[in-house]
Structure 1
């Protein structure tokens, strides 16, 4: 191994450690990954042995930047929609619309799981988790019951996100790599929902008390309703235009965002006090810069041909087993770099097997509370949720994950 390859692989390991131990070092993972990602490519240029090699590195960087740009722009558009609707109270109103004022705990648990599943397929996981945690805290349950609720929330949020490109970054990455089709992804919702339903049943044992929900409706303006409808319309037209005319999803979402800006300009009464374009600044740029850094690092590893070890797993195990264990592995390693590495490694799988990987890396992070963004956010909001308290339900989570994955396997067989 050339000394430069050794240094670059060391950078990748340091970046990964920075992600894992973010809570210990108190250094934002976005800063760590962006530093090592950009430094790695700089090293490739500075220590290039020939002009021909430099041209190859430049082509590799251009390819990585192109992939990152598509991902970034799509996420900026989708997250701006959600940030606006959340600020205007439309999401809270939706919760109060579907939730009754008095309900038994086990029924509420199931409804909460259903809401998280559906909502997280439309919005980002962080927003879905924050809204759900606020609902849980408002119920004033005892600590053990709160942990049961939030355990289901984390699993349901991650499960709901896998079936739409708006719901999970790894699903979007696999779709943009042309490994799965949008309509095929929609079918993932069926086995994923069964997994959530099973977990809700397992967690609901002994929860029969009645709870009272305090309904607080926010004022709904005509422009907010129109933008909510526009968001849903953008999602539907994104799917339809991609299936019928192969229109890239990022193009349709940016068009939807432009219509949103114009709608607010001509229908809103507070454009000067609350300009809608300001909501672009309220989205999670930490998350976006983390993706940027990670994808630069993985692109560098592909450039130096250091992703062969990922392929070896698929030589030892059949894809159906390898994908299952990759999901479990994603509860320890962030699923974004894991997915990026698998995509760059050149693994050859059938569409059904790629569908299995989409489910496993999207949902597998739920097995540990530190394995997904939803779990990390929930830990910061729910006082009783710790690594140990979440681990108490690890067997339930594994059973639900396995059932969901089994359903995806059967779905994959139908695609052959």
Structure 2
């Protein structure tokens, strides 16, 4: 009965997200409420003090994961908020993109930009910067929503080919199941599937769009902070690969340097109050993450994820991997991948590559299935759970094509 009640809470949280437009209840608040109630229920239902202590340890572990993600998001979003406020992202767009471009060409350019960026830096940063591009173009609501969906799919796809791009890819690599040279081949199906989605989305796209003119000039301090941001991204990858330094520590270090530079420099005869840019970070995004991860942690605690690993082992690995990718659209792919790795399935190299692609890209099938989707839903008001559903057929087609190409190439070269 307890497990049924807890799973019901998770379902209610999902329904609150789906029907947000009907109930007018903020999804960040409802998911946080159900997440907290779920863990309180676990404590109340504990049989004895030793069981309560065990649940407390699991909660602390869950909160540590959440806190790490929160701090990482906060530091990344502060950088992006500053650069966006100073017009640096718009200037970057004007350097990379023509001032006037057809909507179809813009689709392809944005897809490629998001794909490549997510391969070399984390999904959160890639999503925030790519969404920042949308604000520089004068797009109608439907086109902005379509672009946001394309960015989500492209960001999740680009991350699978390199260990710097996606946590699940790094987990499978650190488990000794694939080599970097083998992972690189995933960029081919990832790129093809993203281009396919861009083409599908651009079929009915007509006309041209222009970038928003920049009215103010940037100064040296803005360029310096942009360089600090870029350096922080590069060092995050390098220090994590060679010394195992957690990305959050590197990004917080970069953020502290940003604060120090801001308090010792002046722009337009006024001291830069860079710390104030934290206020521009949308805490609804962080609260939504908190609620979702509390619920996923609860499902892990009651053994739901372990049950999924048992089901996984009963079918052909290639089929199981495909379905696991779809499942990662409902459950966070990190604990799902961790549960599968803990189960130690016996897979060949092509099957491990298939799993890497599926858990990395499958979360794109629902807007709540990945960090990129959750951030996009908070940043783009036109994008909701319900409006995202109309794109699921196209996303499923592209995901399936990418997965099929992954197996084709993996068996050809490593089979």
- TM-score if structure 1 supplies the norm length? 0.78
Aligned partner (choices 113, 116, 123) of residue 111 of structure 2: 113
Asked if the contact 2:168/2:360 (under 8 Å) is kept, the reply is no
Within 1, Cα distance between the matches of 2:61 and 2:270? 40
1:320 Cα offset (Å): 3.3
- 1:77 aligns with one of 71, 75, 78: 75
Q: 1:311 deviation in Å?
A: 1.7
Matches within 5 A, 1:159-198: 159-160=157-158, 171-172=166-167, 175=170, 189-198=187-196
- Which stretch of structure 1 is more off in the superposition, 256-265 or 192-201? 192-201
Shift of residue 187, structure 1, vs aligned partner: 6.8
Count of aligned pairs between the two proteins: 402
Partner secondary structure for residue 49 of structure 1: coil
SS in 1 for 2:264: helix
- String of CA shifts for 1:296-318, please: whole Å, max 9, x gaps: 22222333333343223312333
Q: Per-residue deviation at 1:5? A: 3.3
2: CA distance, partners of 1:367 / 1:73: 27
- The SS at the match of 2:217 is coil
Q: Quick one: structure 1 residues 87 and 262, their matched pair in 2 at CA, closer, same or farther if it must change by over 3 Å?
A: same
* Structure 2 counterpart of 1:348, from 325, 341, 344: 344
Q: Does 1:35 align with 2:30?
A: no
Deviation track 1:333-366 (CA, whole Å, cap 9, x = no partner) reads 3x53x65455357443568766645543453354
Which residue number in structure 2 is paired with residue 253 of structure 1?
A: 251
Shift in CA distance, 273/35, structure 1 to aligned 2, threshold 3 Å: farther
**Within 5 Å, which residues of 2 pair with 1:68-217?**
68-119=66-117, 122=121, 124=125, 127-128=128-129, 130-136=131-137, 138=138, 152-160=150-158, 171-172=166-167, 175=170, 189-204=187-202, 215-216=213-214
Q: Distance in 2 between matches of 1:299 and 1:386?
A: 25
Task: Quote the Cα distance in structure 1 between the aligned partners of 2:216 and 2:185.
Answer: 35
Alpha carbons 1:158, 1:374 under 8 Å: kept: no
CA deviations on 1:116-170 (whole Å, 9 max, x unpaired) are: 334566554663564344355x267xx9877765654453344345567887xxx
In 2 relative to 1, CA 300–204 (structure 1 residues): closer, same or farther, beyond 3 Å? closer
Whole-angstrom distance in 1 between the partners of 2:288 and 2:179: 25
Q: For residue 381 of structure 2, what is the aligned residue in structure 1?
A: 380
- Match of residue 26 from structure 1: 24
RMSD, matched Cα: 4.1
Q: Which moved more, 1:265-274 or 1:289-298?
A: 265-274
SS of residue matched to 1:100: coil
Q: 1:329 to 1:222 in 2, by over 3 A?
A: same
* Cα separation, partners in 2 of 1:200 and 1:222, compared to 1, 3 Å: same
Partner residue of 1:13? 11
Q: Contact 2:114–2:126 (CA<8 Å) still a contact in 1?
A: no
Q: How far apart, CA to CA, are the structure 1 residues paired with 2:13 and 2:47?
A: 26
Contact 2:197–2:398 (Cα < 8 Å) also in 1? yes
**1:70 Cα offset (Å):** 1.9
Q: What stretches of structure 2 of length at least 5 have no aligned partner?
A: none
Tell me how far apart the structure 2 counterparts of residues 211 and 304 of structure 1 sit (CA, whole Å).
Answer: 50
Partner of 1:233: helix, strand, or coil? helix
Report if aligned partners of 1:104, 1:210 keep a CA contact under 8 Å in 2.
Answer: yes
Aligned equivalent of 1:241 = 239
